[in-house]
Structure 1
Amino acid sequence: MTTANWPPAADLDPVRRLHALAAGVPGAVITEGEIEADYAEVWPLLADLDGELARLVLDMRGLRVTRIDGDRVEAVARSRFGMRARFDGVLRPGWIWLQSRFILMGVAATPCGEGRTRVAFTGGIRIPGRAALIPVGVGRAGRRVLGRLEARVGSWRTG
């Protein structure tokens, strides 16, 4: 065996990658579902960080991208309670990973058959100094994001 073939590369779609990454974060909860719409319709809504994504995540009053450098993103979010958070993250096709000092959010999407897109969401409150999340309400929030996304895709289609 040559070193060029070792270690073997894992070919994971963005949703599986989110599951793998979240598996290493104690307390991380993933909500996953299928949206009855093509990936080409779903992903632009999710990737619009300071537009659509900020409207889909109910805990955010707003999210403003302050810097983009390749796939690296910096943003400032304001919660519905008025608190601010500065996020550093990555935005790639099918993949969003944003984290601040106290908050983590991941979103992934991948095509899963004709006219369908698999979407996964995770997030939570980070505990400074520990590699753990407090998953308070994350499952419920994830289900709301998926529901709002599906409704938004439907209204976007009808204009």
Structure 2
Amino acid sequence: MGIMTNWPVAELNSVQRLRALAAGVSGAIVLERVVDAGVDDVWAILADFEHGFTMVQPDMRSVEIEARDGDSVTLVARSHYGMRARLRGIARPGYCWLQSRFLVIAMAAAPEPGGGTRVALTGGVRVPGRAAIVPVGVRRELRVSLDRLEGLLGT
């Protein structure tokens, strides 16, 4: 039997990839917004974990990069409430998915046809051992994050 070589190929941009992964997490809410800035400018803030990221995320007081190996990253985050989380995940241009035992944070950015950048965020308190997020307050926090991002971009 020969190898099939004519299978269709579907390519997803970063925002579509985030939507697809979040769809498999019970309680996950994805909030999106088109901002009037280029992808590189948006991602420069979001991927600057120790500075820009903490200014966008409402609950983050500080973030320290503990390890980075290619796309794999480990961060130690501290909240304004004194809690600490070791977040592990993937961070590549335009896409990041991080999780700890009790927390999920994911973000993506992709060029929007017609101009600007579509930014997508999801996250929340994770239910250990399950693909689930407690959705309480998540929508408000994601909206605050997008507002802060726009403020940092000057849009």
Q: Please report the TM-score for the alignment, with normalisation by the length of structure 2.
A: 0.94
1:2-151 matches, cutoff 5 A: 2-6=3-7, 8-113=8-113, 115-151=115-151
CA distance in 1, matches of 2:113, 2:129: 41
% identical aligned pairs: 50
The answer (yes or no) to whether the contact 1:49–1:63 under 8 Å persists in 2 is yes
Query: What is the Cα deviation at residue 2 of structure 1?
Result: 4.2
After superposition, what is the alpha-carbon deviation per residue over 1:111-135, rounded to whole angstroms, capped at 9, x for unaligned? 1145411000000111112221101
Name the aligned partner's letter for residue 87 of structure 2. Answer: F
Query: What is the Cα deviation at residue 4 of structure 1?
Result: 3.3
CA distance in 2, matches of 1:50, 1:5: 45
The answer (yes or no) to whether the contact 1:29–1:123 under 8 Å persists in 2 is yes
The answer (yes or no) to whether the contact 1:38–1:114 under 8 Å persists in 2 is no
After superposition, what is the alpha-carbon deviation per residue over 1:100-121, rounded to whole angstroms, capped at 9, x for unaligned? 0000010000011454110000
Name the aligned partner's letter for residue 21 of structure 2. Answer: L
Structure 2, unmatched stretches of 5+, are none
Specify whether residues 5 and 49 from structure 1 end up closer, same or farther in structure 2 by C-alpha distance, changes over 3 A only.
Answer: farther
The answer (yes or no) to whether the contact 1:55–1:62 under 8 Å persists in 2 is no
Name the aligned partner's letter for residue 130 of structure 1. Answer: R
Name the aligned partner's letter for residue 65 of structure 1. Answer: I
The answer (yes or no) to whether the contact 1:72–1:89 under 8 Å persists in 2 is yes
Residues matched between the structures, number: 154
Q: Please report the TM-score for the alignment, with normalisation by the length of structure 1.
A: 0.91
State the SS of the aligned residue for 2:105: strand
Larger deviation: 19-28 or 129-138?
A: 129-138
CA distance in 2, matches of 1:135, 1:14: 23
CA distance in 1, matches of 2:133, 2:26: 6
Larger deviation: 107-116 or 143-152?
A: 107-116
* Greater helix share, structure number: 1
CA distance in 2, matches of 1:60, 1:67: 19
CA distance in 1, matches of 2:49, 2:9: 30
